[in-house]
Every structure is written in C-alpha cells, then in structure tokens.
Amino acid sequence: MPRYLVAVIGDTHVEAGGEEAHLAETLGRKLIEQGYRIVTGGVGDLPRFVAKGARAAESYRDGDLVAILPGLDPRDAADCADIVIATGLDQARNLLVANSDAVAAIGGGAGTLSEIAFAWTLKRLVLAYRIHGSSGLVAGTRIDQRVRYPEIPEDRVYPVESDSEVADLLRRYLPLYTRRHRGIPGGSVTPHRESVTLAHQPDADPQVGDSR
C-alpha cells in the first residue's frame, strides 16, 4: 500500500537552535516514526533540519525524503533528500510541492503562502503552526469560501503547535481528504470543444469563431 507524502514547507533561512529549527527537526522525526514519507522544496535551511530529524528516527529508510527543487541541479538537495526531482520550474514548482497528500507549514513568507494557497485549491489537507510568518497568518482560517468537502464542515487550515498535534490530525483526516483537483471550471476545455463543433459544421457562419 502506498505511503502518504507529507510536505513540510516554511522559511528558507532558519536559525540553528531557534524555534523553527526545533519544530522542523521534531516534525521530521515524528513523520517518519508514523510511517509517512516527507516532501520538501529542498532549498535553504528548513529541509536540512527536517532531514536531520527524519534520519534520527529508527524507522527511517532510504527513499523517505523527497525534494522537489525549483532549479535544475539535483546536487542542491543532495544532503537533505534521498530522491531529488530537479524541475527547473522556479517558483512554479510550488504547485508540485503543494500537491502532496498533506502540507504542514512552519512559518514562511510569500513562497510558503503560495504553497498553502495551492494546497487549498488542490483540495489537500493543510496544517499550519501557530508561529510568526505565513503559517501563523492562516492557521485556523479558511483561505476562501469554497466548500471543498461538504462532509467535513470543520475543513480549514488546521492550526497546530506541536508534532504530536500534526500526527493526530494526519491520522484523523488524511483518509478523508481523498479528492483531487480536476481542472478549473470554465477553463480551456470548453472553448476547445466549441471550436471542434464549428469545424464540423460546413454551413456555420465563419465569423462565429472570430466573435468570441
């Protein structure tokens, strides 16, 4: 049975011995102990602290740490991941990170905020630590008014303060957050179908396609 992928996101620059470093390290260890695989963006300090904690778990094994890089050089994450995906997508790679089974945010700035927003629109389970930065800004809130899961009325960015809370919420909610994004309603699919229909109507007014 496939193991869940949990993305841990947050600040690029984290002070050793500080709150975020401690939270990242303890969460990394807890996630591995609970049987999850971990996804990070592979850049900066946070993934290193996550990896340090993960590798301290007795149940850690090769392949448990995945990094999805914005750049093209896999060596950038060689010290914090077992599997490195060098996308070359720059900031657009945030969408790939956010499409993990669940996302846990520790602090962070605008990049982290974009990953949280992506995860929300992608119908992912989102957890956020109540600390300074983007995670504290959205913890306990709904990003917008869309109803993602009618059967989960409490759906929101779930606030957490410890790795144990993260583990409890993952155990409770991950089996429920099974829907996947299927495309933006009213996107490019509809116009494409219309153009195909017109192409098969020899008597159609040739101006119709130009009026849209």
How does DSSP classify residue 93? Answer: G
pLDDT value at 49 more than 90: yes
Instruction: Indicate whether 61 and 151 sit together in one domain.
Output: yes
Task: Looking at the structure, tell me whether residues 42 and 109 fall in a common domain.
Answer: yes
- Strands 125-129, 102-106: pairing is parallel
Reported as a pLDDT band with limits 50, 70 and 90, residue 1 is low
Q: Name the residue among 19, 12, 61 with its Cα closest to residue 38.
A: 61
pLDDT exceeds cutoff 60 at 209: no
pTM over 0.85: yes
pLDDT band at 192 (very low <50, low <70, confident <90, very high): very low
Same domain, yes or no: 134 and 212: no
Q: How many domains does the chain have?
A: 2
pLDDT of residue 26: 98
Q: Is the pLDDT of residue 6 over 80?
A: yes
Are 139 and 192 in a shared domain?
no
- Model confidence pLDDT, tens digit, residues 10-23: 999 999 999 999 99
Q: Is the pLDDT at 71 greater than 80, yes or no?
A: yes
Give CA–CA dist 8/47, Å, rounded: 8
What is the C-alpha to C-alpha distance for residues 176 and 72, in angstroms, rounded to an integer? 35
Average pLDDT, the chain: 90
Task: Return the axis-axis angle of helices 19-33 and 46-56, rounded to nearest 10°.
Answer: 40
Task: Give the domain range for residue 134.
Answer: 5-181
The per-residue pLDDT for range 118-142, each reduced to its tens digit, is: 999 999 999 999 999 999 999 999 9
Domain shared by 23 and 80, yes or no: yes
- Helix, strand or coil for residue 127? strand
Q: What is the CATH number of the domain that holds 77?
A: 3.40.50.450
Residues 14 and 97 in one domain: yes
| 193 pLDDT above the threshold of 70 | no
Residues 130 and 58 in one domain: yes
pLDDT in tens, 89-128: 999 999 999 999 999 999 999 999 999 999 999 999 999 9
User: 174 and 187: one domain?
Assistant: no
